[in-house]
Amino acid sequence: MPLVTTEKMFKQAYDGGFAIGAFNVNNMELMQGIVDAAKEENAPLILQISKGAREYANVKYLRALIDCAIEDSGDLPIAMHLDHGDTFEICETCVNDGFTSVMIDASHHPYEENISLTKQVADYAHKNNVVVEAELGQLGGIEEDVVGVSAEDVMNHLTDPDQAADFVKRSCCDSLAVACGTSHGAYKFKSEPKLAFDVIEKIGNLLPGFPLVMHGSSSVPKEFVDLINKYGGNMPNTMGVPEDAISKASKMAVCKVNIDTDLRLALTAKIRQVFSEKPAEFDPRKYLGPGRAAIKEMVQRKLHVLGCAGKADICR
């Protein structure tokens, strides 16, 4: 089926108490692993392209890969989303390039400027039947060009529920990424985080039926970090968001959960393993293939954590 927006996905997710997995894509192996997992689990899917991915792979190549994924996946509902767009111009370009969803991240601007820029993007996107995600509050960690607050300061920059209600009304965004204690990257926390479920609940009560988004939600699986370190890597003190916390948020007003770091870890771990165990190997198919298989297996697990496995039929 053609690309879809997230509108119906989020309606079903909100009503059904689950969340849609939004996975960042940079190359063919990531795309295939993610899509194969969604096909096998019959899950709705959001494929995200960041500013860094556009610069690395060229959006024309990424769009061609997504077109192949659509053809290969049959009637699986798939949305194509811009992750962390930071200007009106990049959002405008992505709308014109056929994205069905764009994020304008103006959370680093003053509140009124965030509203104004988000409203400008929403006005343009809605004329083209494209939905808009915005962000309010500040996450921790680092993801490409997105630099958040320190890990120690994350809980001091949570989204204010009353401000969120005002923001959604005035900006006309279709979903809102909220700061609830999550953090970007693999080095998120020094100890197990405590997410602010009360913030999610309060925003949900003030905005009934409105979909919230969790960024910085990779769980940094220990098995991948251990593999990376075993085979020559150096990733001490990594810690992500526990999967049971992600699952709990998915049963609340959170309808979209972003996952990027875990994909990178899975691919890197398997490549390192092959290079170490077979040092004479030089065929990319022989080390990217195991990486792709690891991505698929990890994504399948995430789809069950989010509760969206088997939900494709109701999201078409």
**Which residues are tagged catalytic?**
83
Which residue's entry shows tokens 């989010």?
Answer: 306
- The radius of gyration of the chain from alpha carbons, rounded to an integer in Å, stands at 18
Torsion angle defined by CA atoms of residues 39, 217, 196 and 153, in that order, rounded to the nearest 10 degrees? -170
| Nearest CA among 276, 193, 262, 195 for reference residue 233 | 276
- What end-to-end distance do the CA atoms of the chain give, in Å? 9
What are the two backbone dihedrals, phi and then psi, of residue 18, each rounded to the nearest 5 degrees? -140, 175
Amino acid letter for position 140:
G
Angle at 90 between CA 24 and CA 138, to 5 degrees: 65
